[in-house]
Amino acid sequence: MRALVVHRPGAPGAKPVLTLKERPVPVLAKDSTQVLIKVRASKINPSDLLNVAGGFPYTTYPRIPGRDYAGTIVSSPGNTTLEGTNVFGTSGNQLGFVRDGAHAEFLVMDSDELVEMPATISFDQAACIGVPYTTALLMIRRAAGSGDQEAPKVLIIGGTGNVGTALAELLPALVPRSTHTSLSRVDGVLTLPTTEKFDIIFGTVPDTACLQAALPLLAKRGRLVYIACTRPHSEPLSIDPLQFYRDELSLIGVNSIDCTMPEATALMRTLSALISDGDLRVKQRAIRKVALTEGEGAYRDAGTSCESLVLTM
């Protein structure tokens, strides 16, 4: 099979050591509880780019990257009825880090990690669900877990990005009485009057300035929930401890990479059910499909593209 392989961590500022290689197709034992999946589509996520560049100290090499996938089970020795089933999935710090990921023609998964793909979405759409939507789901759960408002007022910073879009689509299903406002970046936050307050603010861009500008907009018992490490050499976030104490404010970081495989699978099953039941409507977004054979170039382009880059096999 063909696969993109990272041979060693990349050096800062250097091109990633990523090449297209021929690898043997995995062969499962007759009594195996694993399945072999023919990958149909796999998104290149920002965390994949960072991983290939050597941004995670626990990644082992050589390694096939790729956290998200959609495909078809082609071999399931322990349960042949699964063969032909379309599945999709994601990973925390496993696929692409310490287990071979989905940027290859075939992928091996344990049978208890499988999530059936809803029939209402395409392979390309399904491959774009994993990291953004599980992250958004985690953010909503963490925010809701620390508040008591039945109809919270929500601000999404970075509402046009992958996670911001997922938040906007998930909120009506998970917090039906919420109202939300979406802004792109810090300039949008600065246009809001400080008299306008929000119960929950989601920060989805790696920009401390956005988080800093959002702090005065928190209502009583407000929660600022953010993802993505800030850019290198960015200013640290400054808070007023007395104000946080008086207003009972919360600052919550969410890191989907910390999810275990069982946790990631459970999140995907929740999303699959929401999509299948019609409660979550995944909107068609700009997707640029790239053949796996062009994957090295796709990795170079992914950091500058506004589209979701999806490898197809």
Average pLDDT over residues 198-215: 90
Nearest alpha carbon to residue 88 among 135, 65, 121: 121
Structure tokens at 213: 């500008």
113 and 24 within one domain: yes
290 and 199 within one domain: no
Backbone conformation region of residue 251, classed left if phi is above 0, alpha if psi is from -120 to 50, else beta:
beta
- With respect to residue 277, please indicate whether it lies within any of the assigned structural domains: no
> Which pLDDT value is given to residue 186?
64
240 and 144 within one domain: yes
Banded model confidence at residue 302, pLDDT cuts 50, 70, 90: confident
Average pLDDT over residues 128-132: 97
The mean pLDDT value of the chain amounts to: 91
Q: pLDDT digit string (tens) for 4-13? A: 999 988 766 5
206 and 116 within one domain: no
> Which pLDDT value is given to residue 180?
87
Tell me the CATH number at 201.
3.40.50.720
Tokens 């989905």 map to which residue?
102
- With respect to residue 266, please indicate whether it lies within any of the assigned structural domains: no
In this predicted structure, the answer to whether residue 23 has a pLDDT above a threshold of 90 is yes
> Which pLDDT value is given to residue 176?
85
> Which pLDDT value is given to residue 191?
80
The 8-class DSSP code of residue 113 comes to: G
- With respect to residue 270, please indicate whether it lies within any of the assigned structural domains: no
Average pLDDT over residues 243-247: 95
In this predicted structure, the answer to whether residue 232 has a pLDDT above a threshold of 70 is no
> Which pLDDT value is given to residue 177?
83
- With respect to residue 157, please indicate whether it lies within any of the assigned structural domains: yes
Tell me the CATH number at 71.
3.90.180.10
Average pLDDT over residues 47-54: 91
- Number of neighbouring beta carbons within 10 Å of residue 119: 8
Task: Check residues 307 and 251 and name the one with the higher pLDDT.
Answer: 251
Structure tokens at 303: 């950091």
pTM, two decimals, is 0.94
Give residue 155's identity as a one-letter amino acid code. L
Judge if the upstream peptide bond of residue 118 is cis by omega within 30 degrees of 0: no
> Which pLDDT value is given to residue 198?
94
Give residue 77's identity as a one-letter amino acid code. P
Task: Check residues 278 and 190 and name the one with the higher pLDDT.
Answer: 278
- Counting every residue written for the chain, the total comes to 313
State the residue range of the domain holding 117.
2-129+282-312
120 and 18 within one domain: yes
Backbone angles phi, psi at 23, to 5 degrees: -125, 150
Q: pLDDT digit string (tens) for 74-123? A: 999 999 999 999 999 999 999 999 999 999 999 999 999 999 999 999 99
Banded model confidence at residue 261, pLDDT cuts 50, 70, 90: very high
* β-bridge pairing 69-75 and 86-89: antiparallel
